[in-house]
Chain A
Amino acid sequence: MAKPGGTKTNSVPGEKDGTGTAPKPEKRKKRYRPFIIRAWCKNCGICAAFCPKQVLRCDDTGAHVEKPEECIGCRFCEMHCPDLAISVQERDASPGETPS
């Protein structure tokens, strides 16, 4: 037995009844990665110690970006780098990309 308003199956997914709102384009997740100005880094270890995703690592030569794909863009390292040597930038979100 056909229900009243059975034309629902023809409606565009995401369209609300009668309002005519277009389906929202899928929101692309922003991706980030930190960059280090090596000449300014004094290897204090703050960035590596407080990074919530262990993106950065410090060794004898200074800070390194170890896992750029893990960066969530919280900018803690950028704001807390006492030498103003880290900048967090957005990177292209193409799948499978591993920036060097």
Chain B
Amino acid sequence: MAEGMTGLVHKYLRHDKKFPHIWCPGCGNGIVLGSLIRAIDRLGLDKNKVALVSGIGCSGRMTTYADFNTLHTTHGRALTFATGLKLSREELTVIVIMGDGDATAIGGNHYIHTARRNVDMTAIIVNNQVYGMTGGQYSPTTPYGARTTTTPYGMVEHAFDISALAVAADASYVARCTVYHAALLDQLIEAGIRKKGFSSVEVLSNCHTQFGRRNKMASPVKMLEWFKENAVRMQAASKMKPEERAGKFIIGVLADSERPSYNEEYERARERARGIRNEPKPPARCEG
């Protein structure tokens, strides 16, 4: 058994599962798993009070390895299962792991509406910009011009900005990071879990097997260097011109606000129904 920080991570793993894990050598999912565990440990949460929910895809395997209450759900529906879980078991800290396919393609609508409802949970979106598990087809987050198995002459569509979507839907906390910036990722996940309301942490991850191989980045090292060179902190990006920002990944906290969570609002409605509280003032009616 390892000591130090890794020993700490190993404490939260299910050692009866087959290790080394199933992901490709150098896959960013392992880095995200390490960051998530370190963040949970730093918060001092009891592992029986944490629920980890995942969807389908490479990132969905994370619930197999991590020793929390885990729920491996259907494709794109991780957030809906997690919403039900949070409403029935409010004491649990709910963390949802999704891929870019889960969050923006098959479960795109769930993502927008969970952010709008502000359900108290943390969504970690491992964005590897491609459908890695099924053979490298393009996803809604594949950058313009990138080659995949289904876009051999370059992607003709423009990519979804997952974090901008969450900001527009008024999520309480929105952050973006890359797997190269693992120390920052620890902090962002920790802040996301701490936040009451919906927190979205988008992590740009490397799929050198399916994405990098067709885009001149066939090794994990090359992909991590790509993240290193093109990542710009939020403060620095605000001073940049729009044309300079093209092709860059803006990392850091993108939105942080206070808004009552869905659970709080629902509880208030229940109290009103029981007559414990007075009715809130209805919105002013338009005259004429």
Contacts and interface: CB of A to CB of B under 8 A. Distances in A.
A44 B25 contact: yes
A82 B27 contact: yes
A85 B20 contact: yes
Interface string A37-74: 10111111110011000000000000000000000000
A83 interface: yes
Nearest to B8: A87
B7 A87 contact: yes
Interface stretch (B28-36, B67-75, B76-84, B93-101): B28-36
Given A46-B224, A79-B182, A82-B220, A88 B28 contact: no
A12 interface: no
Interface residues of A, number: 25
A80 B3 contact: no
Size band of the interface chain B makes with A: 20 to 34
Nearest to B20: A40
Interface string A75-100: 10011111111111100000000000
B107 to A, nearest CB: 25
A78 B4 contact: yes
Nearest to A88: B4
A64 to B, nearest CB: 16
Contacts of A43: 25
B2 A37 contact: yes
Contact of B25 (A35, A42, A88): A42
Nearest to A77: B6
Nearest to B228: A50
Given A40-B20, A45-B221, A89 B3 contact: yes
B183 A82 contact: no
Given A82-B220, A87-B2, A87-B4, A44 B20 contact: no
Interface of B: 2-7, 9-10, 13, 19-21, 23-31, 33-35, 179-180, 182-183, 186, 219-221, 224
Ranked 3 nearest A-B pairs via Cβ: A44-B26, A82-B30, A87-B6
